[in-house]
Amino acid sequence: MSKKENLYTITHEFKEIEDLLIKKGGEISEAEEQRLDELTAMIEVKVDSSVGYMNHLEDTIERMKIRIQEFSDFKKARENELVRFKEYVLGCLEHSEKDKFSGDIYELKIKKPLKIVHIEDENTVPIEFLKEKKEFKIDKKALKDALKNNEINVAGISLIDGKKSISIKIRK
């Protein structure tokens, strides 16, 4: 097997010989039959290595998901640490009963709290303070069922073939 014989070129040549077999009415030369056997063996090797590579990629993706979660957890811990430290510094400043401290570079001040709205029961809010929020989402499963059963006929909406996928099974 040369370097140029990747899965694409092998299957392309395999298809050419199969097409030739059809054109010749099921008769091919011994050399062509031998090449077809060689290509079949190559495809079997490529199938195993291709599945191995897919498994490797899936494992890599899973490890990446774990690392992303670890970084996310680490980030969240640092954010919580920052909040707690700010609360600690604020507590120290409040304990000193001063509103302002100055260092050589920075100055810390205790700011007055901002006014925020506290609502005990949202049903008591007057209607003029409510914002309308509409959100529509297409129910593709129901739409697919309706199209399959010829219940609707709308221009621009149709059933089409999705992407082909690979099914991997361990041979027995």
Residue 81: pLDDT band (50, 70, 90) is very high
Answer yes or no: is pLDDT of 4 > 80. no
CB 143 within 8 A of CB 160: no
- Nearest Cα neighbor of 146 from 136, 160, 156, 159 is 159
| Residue 142 and residue 154 in contact, taking contact as beta carbons nearer than 8 Å | no
Q: Residue 1: its pLDDT value, please?
A: 47
Report whether pLDDT(172) > 80: no
In the prediction, which pLDDT does 168 show?
67
Angle between helices 7-23 and 30-96 (to 10 degrees): 150
For 160-171, what is the mean pLDDT?
76
Per-residue confidence at 45, pLDDT binned at 50, 70, 90? Answer: confident
| pLDDT top residue among 116 and 171 | 116
**Which of the pair, 81 or 171, is modelled with greater confidence?**
81
Q: What are phi and psi of 117, to 5 degrees?
A: -85, 130
- Distances 91 to 81, 87, 94 between C-alpha atoms, Å: 15, 6, 5
Q: Which position has the token pair 């199969």?
A: 18
102 pLDDT band, cuts 50/70/90, is: confident
Q: What tens digit of pLDDT does each residue of 115-155 get? A: 888 889 988 888 888 888 888 899 899 989 998 999 988 88
User: What confidence category does residue 57 fall into, taking pLDDT thresholds of 50, 70 and 90?
Assistant: very high
